[in-house]
Amino acid sequence: MPEETRAVKDLPDPTRLRLLVDVAHHGSIAGAARASGITASAVSQQLTTLERECGVPLLERLPRGVALTAAGEVLAERGRSLVRLLEAARGDIDGFDDHLVGRVRIGTIASAAQALVLPALAHLTGEHPGIDATVTVAEPQSSLAALHEGRIDLALVDVYEHAPMAIPSRVTATTVHREPLVLIGREPFSAGTALADLADERWVMPPAEAACGQAVRYACRQAGFEPQVRWETDDLQLLSRAVAAGQGVTMLPQLAIDVDRPGLHTTVPAGAKLGREIRAVVRSGERDRPLLRAVTAALPRG
């Protein structure tokens, strides 16, 4: 008897796999459409084709949105790995081209966006108009998650002394900026002001779960007091405005200070060596990609 032959199924299309990964992350076709820059109907059509390629349902259509089936969840997880592998291959190929062209997706903390990313991209895109850069302002953990899932290519994150942050494996981090945390008040500080001198002041600062808030609280406790916190927000620019409005004093990284806000006075507290580093993080498999090396090198050092 002749051996039974089995039909060879088509392999899933990588572009459609990326769309499935985006749906898994954003939780909707509309979110995937925004991330990919195409219409929701186009995303839906591509995913229908992907289901046909795979031969199993990948999405459950709900009255409001979609949910991944068990097969869809498995394929999305595999898809994340495949997308990262293809991007690494793209980086290897780019290494044979001296011209800086192509897409680079950057996730950055807000304070680095203006001071570091804007001048770097202004220089690079002026010299190399073939660069297509997109920037998303996000908290460090969100950017690191996006980097892991292949949704961005480079993350700019900050790491504070006394507030350790776990950097995932399989990434390469380069320190591009170091700066002290400075005291900010509405009145000038006396020469040699130490943190302990401000024990009776009202404070405005980031929440305790934020890295900056954690670091400042640690420094205050090391100086012998628990800060009297009157405002809590992770909007560092708002904290500068709160100080200018007389709501208290604060301690922030130099780049986060609203320098255009009148009525602010700053000083580095005597005896308190508290600072942060800003690091450029890329997937280790892409650390030699010319475009990512160029972006990292163009970031102003401090």
How large is the average pLDDT for residues 112-133?
A: 94
Q: Residue ranges of the domains in the chain?
A: 14-91, 100-177+280-298, 178-276
Rounded mean pLDDT, 271-292: 89
Locate 62 and state its tokens: 């709900």
Output the CATH code of domain 100-177+280-298. Answer: 3.40.190.10
More confident call, 296 vs 65: 296
Interhelix angle 14-26/29-36, rounded to 10 degrees, is 120
> Do 100-177+280-298 and 14-91 fall under one CATH topology?
no
Per-residue pLDDT of 219-275, as tens digits, reads 999 999 999 999 999 998 899 999 999 999 999 999 988 767 788 999 999 987 889
Give the Cα separation of 299 and 103 in Å (integer): 17
For the chain, where are the E strands, in sequence order?
59-62, 65-68, 102-108, 131-137, 154-160, 171-185, 202-205, 228-232, 250-253, 265-267, 275-283
Per CATH, the homologous superfamily of domain 178-276 is Periplasmic binding protein-like II (3.40.190.10)
The residue written with tokens 């001048």 in the block is: 119
Instruction: State the residue for tokens 């690191």.
Output: 144
> Is the pLDDT reported for residue 118 higher than 90?
yes
- The pLDDT, as a whole number, for residue 8 is 54
How high is the pLDDT of residue 271? 85
* Confidence (pLDDT) at 56: 92
* Percent of the residues in the chain that have a pLDDT greater than 90, as a whole number: 57
| Whole-number pLDDT of residue 37 | 62
Please, what CATH class does the domain formed by 14-91 belong to?
mainly alpha
Q: Is the pLDDT of residue 4 over 70?
A: no
Residue 70, amino acid: A
Give the residue carrying structure tokens 């289901």: 51
Q: What confidence score (pLDDT) does residue 7 get?
A: 54
Contact 78, 58 (CB under 8 A): no
- The helix, strand and coil proportions of the chain, stated in percent and rounded to the nearest 5, come to 40, 25, 35
Least confident piece of the model among 36-45, 72-81, 193-202: 36-45
- What pLDDT was estimated at residue 6? 54
Q: Which two tokens stand for residue 242?
A: 């709160």
CA neighbor of 58 nearest in space, from 95, 16, 114, 9:
16
Residue 140 pLDDT > 80: yes
Of 154, 152, 146, 194, the residue nearest 173 (C-alpha):
154
Residue ranges with strand state E in 199-293: 202-205, 228-232, 250-253, 265-267, 275-283
Least confident of 61-65, 144-148, 284-288: 61-65
Q: Would you tell me how many other CB atoms lie within 10 Å of the CB of residue 1? A: 3
